[in-house]
Structure 1
Amino acid sequence: MNRKPLAAFACAALLLAACAAKPSFEPARLVHAVQPVYPPQLEEEGIEGRAIVRMRINTRGSVSDTQVLSATHPLFARSAVRAVSQYRFTPAKQNGRPVESAFTQTFRFRVSEEKPDPSETAQPPRPPLPTH
């Protein structure tokens, strides 16, 4: 009896089973975000910048740890960490089970020079005066 075809069939079956059992991964999804507060003293001085924060997301979807990867000012870093500490996620899933994951967020702090919208400051036209 030739065992080569049987061995080849067994190998093919194992290979197909391994491919079919490929693990599935669903990344965490942000469901609640909080905007960082622009540090008032930096905003008054017109100082702009950014902060990059990496956070660990636990199996309940809460942020369990934060790490500032970079920041142009310590106050930007502090504000960003306060904000991401309030983030909530749908946790990542591996094969349908919640797992810890990581997420990185970049915050840009820009001083806005908002000019009034002309439509908000313009007066509506007056009705014409009655003529007699």
Structure 2
Amino acid sequence: MKLAKTFLHACLLLAATVPSTSGNPGQPFSKYPGLDLQFKVLKLPHFPQSLEEEGYLEGQVRVALDIDYAGELRDWLVLESSHPAFTQSLERVIEDWRFTAPYLNGENKSIVTELGIQFRSEGNVVSMTSVASALNRRFNDLTGYGSRYSGLSSIKDLDTPPYPISQEPPSVPEELIEKYDGSRAVFTFYVDEAGQVRIPVLSQTDGDPDVLMLLAAQDAIAQWRFEPPTQNRKPVKIQLSQTFVFKK
């Protein structure tokens, strides 16, 4: 496979920064309208030959990225894909990507963001964009090719409601709870097909809770486990949110 050494500059729309115990841990939660992030793609995903033979001309994958303040890709999760073969093409190369340390206003930041990857069979073209939008399945639908789209499932479409099998509360010192009594934090996170919590991130606060309280909450969520979610008896991924109210 030919190695494509490509530097890409993407103005990424950030969902939120991720708590970090270093890299200025005192202010890790601000939301930003955009961030200039550079990353090196050593291997580009290829358009699957099997799909070319079936007549597919294009495809898309949307992936969530968790990048720490030093530029390490801590976790990633495919949120949408127009065909499993496109997902597999990305899976084979993404661990080889290298990111610069996210940097804004003189500080390194841990971030969670999304990246869209567009596949085109003509010339085996692969392009990347930070615009997070629903996948376009119109072409395959109109031409009659079988849709193999996969994405996040809605809670209302699950066979059973999400059921936690391990859900320990965060361990927060009493003195912090007394000082920030009544403060609130909301986290969003994904649950994958195995019931594992993936990429928990702070989405909202009220009452200015201390950063150590937020770190404790995020660490607790990362350890939670759920019964594997299913839709029509097939494993699926979902997105959930959890609100913590810190009261003495």
Q: TM-score, normalised by structure 2?
A: 0.33
Query: Does structure 2 conserve the Cα–Cα contact (< 8 Å) formed by 1:39 and 1:79?
Result: no
Number of aligned residues:
87
Pair 1:83-2:220 in alignment: yes
RMSD over equivalenced CA pairs, Å: 1.8
Q: The residue matched to 2:179 in structure 1 has which SS?
A: coil
Deviation at 1:36, TM superposition (A): 0.7
CA distance in 1, matches of 2:175, 2:212: 9
Matches within 5 A, 1:44-59: 46-48=179-181, 49-59=183-193
Q: What amino acid does structure 2 have at the position aligned with 1:25? A: L
Partner of 1:101: 238
For residue 65 of structure 1, the aligned residue among 193, 199, 218 is 199
Q: Which has the higher helix share?
A: 1
Q: Identity percentage over the alignment?
A: 28
For residue 229 of structure 2, the aligned residue among 80, 92, 95 is 92
CA distance in 2, matches of 1:79, 1:50: 13
Pair 1:33-2:167 in alignment: yes
Q: Which has the higher contact order (CA 8 A, sep 6+)?
A: 1
CA distance in 2, matches of 1:69, 1:86: 18
Unaligned runs of 5+ in 2: 1-156
Deviation at 1:42, TM superposition (A): 1.5
Unaligned runs of 5+ in 1: 1-23, 112-132
CA distance in 1, matches of 2:245, 2:170: 10
Partner of 2:99: none
CA displacement, residues 38-77 of structure 1 (integer Å, 9 cap, x when unaligned): 245523x532212111110011101011111113322222
Q: What amino acid does structure 2 have at the position aligned with 1:92? A: P
Q: Which runs of 4+ in 1 moved over 2 A?
A: 24-28, 71-76
